[in-house]
Amino acid sequence: MAVDLTKTDSFELGAIRQLFPALSVSGPTGKPWVYLDGPGGTQVPASVAESISQAILFANANRGASFATSQAVDAIMSRAGQAAAALLGVDSPDRVVFGQNMTSLAFHAADAIIPTLKPGDEVVVSNLDHDANVAPWVHAAQRSGATVRRLDFNRQNMTLSPAQLADTIGPKTRLIAFTAASNALGSLTPVPELVRVARTSPALVIVDGTHYAPHLLPKVDEWDVDLFFCSAYKFFGPHVGLMAGKLEVLNRLQPAKVRPACNLLPVRWMTGTQNHEGIAGVTAAIEYLASLGNGESLRQKLVAAYHRIADHERELMEVFLHRLGSQQAWTLTGVQVPDPSRRVATFALRGPVDPATASRKLAEKGICSYAGNFYALPVTEALGLESKGGFLRVGAVHYNTVDEIHRLWDELQALKA
């Protein structure tokens, strides 16, 4: 029986929260900490920690030998590939690469892309992105002599426009990188429409799903994306990066590798010995998510689970935006409607207190938040806020409660300049 997420603060949400040991740790006021730092990294269910612990205690070997612990590692990697393929929506585990984190995987891919670029080629990056989906491609352009073009975001709806992308690309465009969701403003981008436009050029289409995957289920194949990145610590797992790609792309590009390492997918992209225990934790995180939904296959369970997650997060967004609208001191940069097709529950605020001070004062009240640019440097630069401390960012995920959103607003309203 799947857990019912649709009733906020219901017994079911209580049951979910009990799976996350950190959620019952008391903060400085004696009440449990309120984790609104999800965009910077989510808490994990105990099952994730147990999987990591089991793997490192009892499956601690390198791969490919005939003894039991080595075979157990092979099984961990194979299961993780299957689970991640189901989460990302790709048809084969051969197309899923694990790595240190999203940023390292993107730089690794960028280095493999450099020889495919030449002077005169164009690389398009967006101003809505985390720098991890900008800097690697700019690096590739700089090393190859290609030209970088910037796709700005629309200041009304804080997202990327397919029409503007169409104006930015042409026959010389070789790479287009954009995010599926902004980790600063919470906006979703119209991925299918952007990809459709991108396909009118010969470019490689790269999507960062790091901020998308905790809230909505990626559809890498359906979206027709060439390379897709995300990071498990943002979706209730450990610090492991993931990259999914088209077979043709992953086979055609030549990643840097040591000579004895296998040249077959996905291993040809995975430098050195992997963090096997962390990767066991990724499987546990995906299985946890799947446990929130009913269905035959892992993918079907994930589809159902993410519907429930979106329903609950819509309610959190409604309460957040209602409280926002009932005061004047704090202003939001981002979509002001609680529509899960347009935004996730990540909010960028500015108010009477500078973001860093506000975040520190919230911490004193037991509320976790972040201040600054969150490495979404193009966003704060584009909005002229980089020299002004950026934003106070609060981000809810499915384990957060309506009560916590009220606690946040009560504290925000008590903050005076």
Ligand X SMILES: Cc1ncc(COP(=O)(O)O)c(C=O)c1O
Query: Cα(first)–Cα(last) distance of the chain, in Å?
Result: 49
Q: Between 237 and 293, name the residue whose CB sits nearer to ligand X.
A: 237
Q: Report the SS3 class of residue 18.
A: helix
Applying CB under 6 A, among 42, 127, 161, 183 the residue interacting with ligand X is 183
Q: Between 218 and 293, name the residue whose CB sits nearer to ligand X.
A: 218
Applying CB under 6 A, among 132, 176, 279, 371 the residue interacting with ligand X is 132
- Least spacing, CB of residue 414 vs ligand X, in Å: 29
For residue 98, give the H/E element and its range: strand 96-99
Q: Any bridge partners for residue 151, and if so which? A: 126
What is the rounded distance in angstroms from the CA atom of residue 32 to the CA atom of residue 40? 19
Applying CB under 6 A, among 17, 95, 108, 130 the residue interacting with ligand X is 130
Q: Report whether 182 contacts 377 (CB < 8 A).
A: no
- Least spacing, CB of residue 135 vs ligand X, in Å: 10
Q: Between 103 and 159, name the residue whose CB sits nearer to ligand X.
A: 103
Kindly state whether residue 102 participates in binding ligand X, applying the rule CB under 6 A.
yes
Applying CB under 6 A, among 95, 108, 211, 393 the residue interacting with ligand X is 211
The CA-atom distances, in angstroms, between 163 and each of 160, 195, 224, 321, 365 are: 9, 12, 19, 29, 45
Single-letter amino acid, residue 84: A
Kindly state whether residue 217 participates in binding ligand X, applying the rule CB under 6 A.
no
Q: Between 320 and 374, name the residue whose CB sits nearer to ligand X.
A: 374
- Least spacing, CB of residue 231 vs ligand X, in Å: 3
Applying CB under 6 A, among 241, 278, 340, 389 the residue interacting with ligand X is 241
What is the rounded distance in angstroms from the CA atom of residue 67 to the CA atom of residue 81? 22
Rule CB under 6 A: which of 52-91 touch ligand X? none
Single-letter amino acid, residue 363: A
What is the rounded distance in angstroms from the CA atom of residue 299 to the CA atom of residue 49? 23
Rule CB under 6 A: which of 345-384 touch ligand X? 375
What string marks each residue from 141 to 180 as x (binds ligand X by CB under 6 A) or -? Answer: --------------------------------------x-
Kindly state whether residue 220 participates in binding ligand X, applying the rule CB under 6 A.
no
Q: Report whether 392 contacts 355 (CB < 8 A).
A: yes
Q: Report whether 363 contacts 412 (CB < 8 A).
A: no
What is the rounded distance in angstroms from the CA atom of residue 117 to the CA atom of residue 29? 56
Which residues contact ligand X by CB under 6 A?
A: 101-103, 130, 132-133, 179, 183, 208, 210-211, 231, 241, 375
